[in-house]
Structure 1
């Protein structure tokens, strides 16, 4: 008999209580950090959405029978994703081999990232395959992710990507320049090893719940861990290499610029820049919790396919609650503060982005 009088699923019960305590602690954090009612409501909604996502990541996933699922939806855009893109994830193990087959489509970018780290070990990027290195035959591709190079009869012409012994996931990132004209990639994943189906153990369930709790914490506290000082230095942007934002959450072929906005209802934050010669870039707005601002229903992000430079080659983006004619308008929905994220694909030299705050009626 254990100390709490229960000898059944002791580790799982302890882990579940840990999840409950984490949810209570995060509720207190959100309550403390929100500056108004809207932020608190949105923060608690982010907490609920993070819990749902982390249930899929940690509890529902089966590395022996993996499948790709989309981490985001029209109503779940948490953790600072690119709303003009797609993020597929499949959980794996480092002692297995996996075959991914599919078609490339015609989107602007496709990349495969291997994450490593199990249990309480922080996740890290342990492998990466970009679309510039992906081999395809008339648009079709096959990639085997395995700890050692499989024999030719297993590879069957597929491209091999090595994974470490603590591999935990494959993340697929796809960026879309124009959803109306670009065809998304499609793919499936299968474990190449024959593994018998077995009941879940107390230890495995406990590990899943513990991982779930810590991943919720990571997603809900990004405003405290990723350049939090920028919230006190609003309406300016800084350059951030992918490594500065965490290599488990970014890829090395992206350059980022980020900053916070703090605006009155009659103000716009105007960004002016000459785009670098890169095949893809976009500008995205997020609330203070790094949740995209209803991107399917509100015009809060834009790609290089949807905005054109002026005769001098300059792009002007105006961030604000209303369109005052200061540039291509991105809608904050009237939020008092939030984040502005710029992504430049192919890691170009950081462009100069000028920022200014202009009031309604001011010249463009």
Structure 2
């Protein structure tokens, strides 16, 4: 056996990969259908690609933005997938100075958030700094430029670019350059081993979270002989993200999560009253926080595409197929999965979205 650290770290990574599918094949979090098993393996491949981009191939002295979520890339749909937004990531050195520039395109909200890294490969648990679109000066064409750093604790930058319609909108054109000379180029044994181990640590955390639980339907709760705090076909209370959070959440956002369990002839009628905010949307996820088949299905709706009711509330009809309602969403025939509401720069934490389970034939077909 070689004593090279990169060889040892490579085999450690292979061993990690070889056991991660246990998170969705066995135990309390095992998924129940073949589609979610297949999604689990796709998520393994997706997160491995992101881990390599951000740990093995990144260089804080020679920065570049890397796609980590994209409406158009099936290999970049993970970790709180959002079909209306583009996300980029760039590891940085807290002692270095950077210049971030670009053009806003057709974004309705964009920002750059700096996060810490408690240890190599560990997920962030703190927002270090945030620069949003209304913090920067832009010319008449939407061009902007600002300097960032040095910033203690900043280990990674994440951009967010939300679009009213990502199919037609122009994404933000992000650029970044280091204002200090980079360290000498080194891709040696020690550096490669450290990067592979960081990637492995990152993957382990991802699959310690995934797959997400799906709630129990109310008619099944009583048969268990106890109440459960996580019921299917309803939402938890919305909350505002604090500075101390886990996993690169957006400081500007409020979130509310739920899950669905639907029969072929059922629909979930969801109604909520959006507060004044820059952007909101509802996204349908599988149990791996991803939205498959976005080119073939309407699996998200936002404040720009939703048709409101006369009183300003919004009703959304979710079913395994599409219905006649203008705010219809499909699960793409998935019988169960998860749901995520987001509200950006909301004037107040929104009220809890209401959901009621009905027969698909009884679901509304028009706004109120």
Q: TM-score range by the shorter chain?
A: 0.7 to 0.9
Give the corresponding residue for 1:101: 101
Equivalent-residue separation in structure 2 for 1:31 and 1:274 (angstroms): 39
How far apart are the structure 1 equivalents of 2:111 and 2:167? 21
Mapped to 2, the partners of 1:314 and 1:145 lie a distance apart of: 40
Partner of residue 222, structure 1: 209
Equivalence map 1:1-364=2 (5 Å)? 4=1, 6-7=2-3, 9=4, 11-32=5-26, 33-73=30-70, 74-76=73-75, 77-117=77-117, 118-123=119-124, 124-138=126-140, 139-147=142-150, 163-164=151-152, 166-179=153-166, 182-223=169-210, 228=213, 230=215, 233-238=231-236, 239-243=238-242, 246-325=245-324, 328-347=327-346, 348-364=348-364
RMSD of aligned residue pairs (Cα, Å): 2.2
Deviation of residue 67 (structure 1)?
0.8
Tell me the alpha carbon deviations over residues 121-160 of structure 1, each in whole angstroms, 9 at most, x when there is no partner.
542321111112123233222222222xxxxxxxxxxxxx
Structure 1: state its 5+ residue gaps.
Answer: 148-162
Distance 1:244 1:320 in 2: 36
Describe the shift of the 1:26–1:121 C-alpha distance in structure 2 as closer, same or farther (beyond 3 A). closer
Structure 2 distance, partners of 1:181, 1:323, is: 22
Give the drift of 1:263. Answer: 0.7
User: Secondary structure at the residue paired with 2:129?
Assistant: strand
**Deviation at residue 269 of structure 1 after TM alignment:** 1.1
Match of 1:159 in 2: none
CA positional deviation for 1:298: 1.4
Shift of 1:327: 6.1
1:343 aligned counterpart, secondary structure: strand
1:151 matched to which residue of 2? Answer: none
**Helix, strand or coil: the match of 1:184?**
coil
Tell me the distance in 2 between the aligned counterparts of 1:259 and 1:89.
27
Deviations 1:271-297 (A, max 9, x none): 012221222111100001111132233
C-alpha deviation, 1:351, in angstroms: 2.3
Q: Shift in Å at residue 221 of structure 1?
A: 3.7
1:187 offset after TM fit, Å?
2.2
The answer on whether the counterparts of 2:52 and 2:199 sit within 8 Å (CA) in structure 1 is: yes
Q: What SS does structure 2 have at the residue aligned with 1:351? A: coil
The verdict on how the C-alpha distance between 1:286 and 1:357 changes in structure 2, with shifts beyond 3 A counting, is: same
Q: Report how far residue 81 of structure 1 moved.
A: 2.5
Q: Single out whichever of 314-323 and 243-252 deviates more from structure 2.
A: 243-252
CA–CA separation in structure 2 for the residues paired with 1:198 and 1:360: 61
Distance 2:205 2:356 in 1: 32
Q: Distance in 2 between matches of 1:62 and 1:220?
A: 25
Unaligned runs of 5+ in 2: 217-229
For the Cα contact (< 8 Å) 2:111–2:130, is it kept in 1? yes
Distance 1:206 1:230 in 2: 40
Instruction: Say if 1:270 and 1:327, in contact at 8 Å, map to a contact too.
Output: no
* Residues 300 and 330 in structure 1, CA contact (< 8 A), matched pair in contact too: yes
Contact 1:273 1:314 in 2 (8 A): yes
Superposition TM-score, scaled by structure 2 size = 0.86
Range with greater deviation from structure 2 (339-348 or 116-125): 116-125
The secondary structure found in structure 2 opposite 1:132 is: helix
Give the number of equivalent residue pairs. Answer: 340
Q: Distance in 1 between matches of 2:275 and 2:62?
A: 42
Q: Would the aligned equivalents of 2:74 and 2:292 in 1 still touch at CA under 8 Å?
A: no
TM-score w.r.t. length of structure 1: 0.86
In the TM superposition, what is the alpha-carbon distance from 1:104 to its structure 2 partner? 2.4
Q: Which whole-Å CA distance do the structure 1 matches of 2:63 and 2:234 have between them?
A: 42
How far does residue 180 in structure 1 lie from its aligned partner after superposition? 5.8
Instruction: Give the drift of 1:253.
Output: 1.1
Cα 1:24–1:112 change in 2 (3 A) is same
